[in-house]
A and B are shown apart, each in its own frame.
Chain A
Amino acid sequence: MTEALPTLWFVLIAVLWAGYLFLEGFDLGVGMLMKLMARNDTQRRVLLNTVGPVWDGNEVWLVTAVGATFAAFPHWYASLLSALYLPFLLVLLGLIFRAVAFEWRGKRDSDAWRDRWDWAIAVGSFIAAAGIGAALALTTTGLPLDVNGNRVGGAFAWATMPALLGAVAVVLFCLVHAAAFVALKTEGSIRSQADRLFRRLLPVAMIPFLGWALLVQVGSGTVVTWFVVVLAVVAFIASYRAATVGRDGRAFAGLGVGMLALIGSIFGAAFPVVLPSTLDPAFDLTVQNASSSPYTLGLMSLVACFGLPLVLAYQAWTYWVFRRRVSEASIPAAHAVTAL
């Protein structure tokens, strides 16, 4: 039993990353669409309010994925975050600006003020998506780590083709996922704009993600993980077909399931290595040599057994409470805050 604990935690952390990409995927994408799709302020506010009640809860999936990595695989956490010092710094700055922009954007009735925060949301979302994508691609393809798990080769040793591939993959996924989400969550002209964008993007947008998955499969894939990649492609085709017949829900679900399958195939193929060293396979961090003690993993397993289902339940309830579509008519007039 205790031998299985590191594997269980590897699966759990893959689940947390998958959950993060699925949930924050669309709100990062909605952030980028603020500047790429919305035509006027009302449309921007419609976009914001589709994710308004949920984006902060979605972001906790990231915090939990990182925190759980610290608890279950301290060596993975330490090596990955210190090796990717500048990319994670950029991700943090992006997320900081994005978070305050969400909350502060409407707090002053001024076009210049709103425009500034719209840029913060769009650029912050873009940087966060790209940085997380690069980090996940690198943890599955490798970094130049020495025997102690420390990066060699300087501050930009991470700037490689796989990093770029991962960044592009996640940015494009977020955009197309957001288009599906907005089509599902809105009414009126913005809905048809999103629907058109989705159908135009989907055939190409998932190609880099697929490329990342194939890159990992070629290295260490198994029959099962190859099969899961095929499943993902089937899901994308189903998603596209659903969109062409106006089934927003199925289109969104198909895309999401396809992405989850790709993440599953990537982590599945990478197992049992959590962070390969490109210098020497002997320096690889694996589920065994990077993990915490069985006692700590056991304790964390108890907490996760209790906590994770609860999180899924109340977050699902939130989506249920705010299930109504948002339209331009739902947006109240902006009001100025004036001194008495």
Chain B
Amino acid sequence: MEALEIARWQFGITTVYHFLMVPLTIGLGLLVAVMQTMWHRSGKEHYLRMTKFWGKLFLINFIMGVATGLVQEFQFGMAWSEYSRFVGDVFGAPLAMEALLAFFVESTFLGLWIFGWGRLPRLVHLLCLWAAVLASVFSAYFILVANSWMQHPVGVEMVDGRPVMVDAWAVFTNNTALVAFPHTVFGALAVAGAFLLGISWYHLHKRRHDGLDTVGAHGTVIVGDAGGARDAVDHRVWLVSARAGAIVAMIAFAGTGITGDLQGKLMFDQQPMKMAAAEAACHDGTGFSILSVGNLGAQSCDDITAVIEVPGVLSFLANGDFTTEVKGVNTLLPEYQEKYGTTLPDDPMYGERAGTEIDYLPVMEVTYWGFRIMIGFGAIAAGAAALALWVLRKGTVPESRWLMRLAVFGILAPFGANSAGWIFTEMGRQPFVVAPNPDPSGIDSVFMFTAAAVSPGVSLGELVASLVALTSVYAVLLVVEVKLLFSYVRGGTASAMPELAQAGSDSGHGGDGGSGVSGARHGGKDDGDVLAFAY
């Protein structure tokens, strides 16, 4: 393989990996902040336990998002120096703002939250969490502004062959970014919703399996109480979490659907080839393919047949009506070739690639299936959440072990949808790293081929070394993270609140109580010198 391919694999792997952690950070962070707010307002013990337990899982994952995010900040310059020089005037600004306005707030106030239990006044402590969580949402906005400029370059003029920012307002209110931002936040909430639901289901199931909770005459739950961490409040923790997770998952899916539809309509204008490739739509038409067979990998329209097609739906996705013809690959290819050339320019920046033919068709296997996996996994998760909410109406889950496993596995579905969506939108932009927009509102002359973006001075050996090092380190850390999450999940609320386990062994109190537990924890000065929430 050549340096360019290695660099692309590296960017893809590190970015998709980073975006396994990020949606959980954003989504779960928001939910934990809501839980702590509920505890602050109501003083109810189960909200405190929810905050502590989900907060612990949040932190185990958060740090991986931070650690892998570092790579993102550096790798544009390291592996993509020509790209950095070309776009720096407009692309660097949102990145720098993300660090200055979002990352500082996020990391500083999260530190205050972690170590501030019992030391800060309760309201201040709660506000610290909100500051950190909202900053992480804000950081998503900045990075999506940067990414959206690569999809839909706006607010610039070309000076000496490079885009120069002339209208910051246009860059920061890029319509592509304004719809990608809510789409991403809803995607993050979908992840968090499934996470809450799956893990809470496991615990509700475990309580039933251990004979703690039983089911009465009308199928209604009879809550058991074994004291300590497995008292009646514990049941409330999981039931409230499960229901909240299911509701969040459903709302999130609706949100991604609505914003995704808006995105699709923009994309048909801005990057018609990406959408044609997403549909494997070779010819102009109105039908949406449910299933296309043939050899997508051959990258040739002769080999593809749409087996099941719904007439009109593609037009609706693109234009909001059922009749307008949408351009297919066969129409678009000559248009792209005419506008952007058939071969790479004879410029030293393209190295040995100069003069080679440009393939304007993205990898159709990836775009076609990426698009469908995104929607499919999202829909499966939302459907399962709706079903789960109905099953939970009597206050517990069935004894079925298979259902429990399904709920836990279901956590993966929205992760898959998020990854598939990103892979689709980034690979669908190829062969461009900055995509030209043929529509009249776009700036047609601003584009960059991915082949021109890689660092000319960096050797193949360096790229291979970093690909191998980062991939293997990431793989090891993923295993460790998942193992840690599993052990904390298995330990239940006591894993985040060891005092519960102690309380269980010496008193076995339960019910609404717990004031003794939380009192000792948050009485402030009673703790003397001991750090409440230390490393």
Asked if B455 and A107 sit within 8 Å, CB to CB, the answer is: no
Closest Cβ of chain B: how far from A45's Cβ, in Å?
7
Interchain CB contact (< 8 A) of A150 among B99, B103, B104, B457 = B457
Enumerate chain A residues within 8 angstroms of B116, measured Cβ to Cβ: 53, 321
A230 interfacial by beta-carbon distance below 8 Å: no
Asked if B74 and A82 sit within 8 Å, CB to CB, the answer is: no
A151 to B457, CA, bound (A): 5
Enumerate chain A residues within 8 angstroms of B522, measured Cβ to Cβ: none
A74 to B93, CA, bound (A): 10
B82 interfacial by beta-carbon distance below 8 Å: yes
Closest Cβ of chain B: how far from A131's Cβ, in Å?
11
Asked if A77 and B529 sit within 8 Å, CB to CB, the answer is: no
B96 interfacial by beta-carbon distance below 8 Å: yes
Enumerate chain A residues within 8 angstroms of B484, measured Cβ to Cβ: 104, 107-108
A99 to B494, CA, bound (A): 25
Asked if B77 and A340 sit within 8 Å, CB to CB, the answer is: no
Asked if A155 and B88 sit within 8 Å, CB to CB, the answer is: no
Q: A53-B114, A74-B85 are in contact. Are A314 and B108 (CB under 8 A)?
A: yes
**Minimum CB distance partner of A83 in chain B:** B457
Enumerate chain B residues within 8 angstroms of A151, measured Cβ to Cβ: 457-458
A315 interfacial by beta-carbon distance below 8 Å: yes
Enumerate chain A residues within 8 angstroms of B109, measured Cβ to Cβ: 314
Q: Is the interface of A mostly helix, strand, loop or mixed?
A: helix
Within 8 A of A (CB), among B471-528: 473, 477, 480-481, 484, 487-488, 490-492, 494-495, 498
Asked if B107 and A155 sit within 8 Å, CB to CB, the answer is: no
Asked if B115 and A303 sit within 8 Å, CB to CB, the answer is: no
Closest Cβ of chain B: how far from A286's Cβ, in Å?
15
A63 interfacial by beta-carbon distance below 8 Å: yes
A311 interfacial by beta-carbon distance below 8 Å: yes
Q: C-beta contact mask, A70-88 vs B, less than 8 Å → 1, else 0?
A: 1111110111111101101
A219 interfacial by beta-carbon distance below 8 Å: no
Closest Cβ of chain A: how far from B21's Cβ, in Å?
11
**Minimum CB distance partner of A59 in chain B:** B107
Enumerate chain B residues within 8 angstroms of A104, measured Cβ to Cβ: 60, 63, 480, 484
Interchain CB contact (< 8 A) of A68 among B100, B105, B110, B159 = B100
Enumerate chain B residues within 8 angstroms of A161, measured Cβ to Cβ: none
A85 to B63, CA, bound (A): 24
Q: A49-B534, A86-B462, A303-B97 are in contact. Are A67 and B73 (CB under 8 A)?
A: yes
B95 interfacial by beta-carbon distance below 8 Å: yes
Enumerate chain A residues within 8 angstroms of B529, measured Cβ to Cβ: 327, 329-330
Enumerate chain B residues within 8 angstroms of A71, measured Cβ to Cβ: 88, 92-93, 95-97
A96 to B75, CA, bound (A): 14
A55 to B77, CA, bound (A): 25
Enumerate chain B residues within 8 angstroms of A314, measured Cβ to Cβ: 104-105, 108-109
Closest Cβ of chain A: how far from B522's Cβ, in Å?
15
Asked if A63 and B114 sit within 8 Å, CB to CB, the answer is: no
Closest Cβ of chain A: how far from B140's Cβ, in Å?
16
Enumerate chain B residues within 8 angstroms of A330, measured Cβ to Cβ: 529-531, 534
Q: A60-B104, A108-B487 are in contact. Are A67 and B95 (CB under 8 A)?
A: yes
A147 to B518, CA, bound (A): 66
Enumerate chain A residues within 8 angstroms of B119, measured Cβ to Cβ: 321-322
Asked if A326 and B84 sit within 8 Å, CB to CB, the answer is: no
Asked if A74 and B92 sit within 8 Å, CB to CB, the answer is: yes
A295 to B92, CA, bound (A): 13
Closest Cβ of chain B: how far from A301's Cβ, in Å?
11
Q: A63-B73, A292-B92, A340-B206 are in contact. Are A100 and B63 (CB under 8 A)?
A: yes
8 nearest A-B pairs in the assembled complex, by CB-CB distance: A74-B88, A81-B77, A71-B92, A150-B457, A70-B92, A78-B81, A103-B63, A57-B108
Q: Which residues of B contact A (CB under 8 A)?
A: 59-60, 62-64, 66-68, 70-71, 73-74, 76-79, 81-82, 84-85, 87-93, 95-101, 103-105, 107-112, 114-116, 119-120, 159, 164-166, 168, 206, 210, 229-230, 455-459, 461-462, 465-466, 469-470, 473, 477, 480-481, 484, 487-488, 490-492, 494-495, 498, 529-532, 534-535
Name 4 extra pairs, CB < 8 A, besides A67-B99, A75-B88, A299-B165: A81-B84, A82-B455, A95-B67, A296-B165
Q: Which residues of A contact B (CB under 8 A)?
A: 45, 48-49, 52-57, 59-60, 63-64, 66-68, 70-75, 77-83, 85-86, 88-89, 92-93, 95-97, 99-100, 102-108, 146, 148-152, 154-155, 292-293, 295-296, 299-300, 303-304, 307-308, 311, 314-315, 318, 321-322, 326-327, 329-332, 335, 337-340
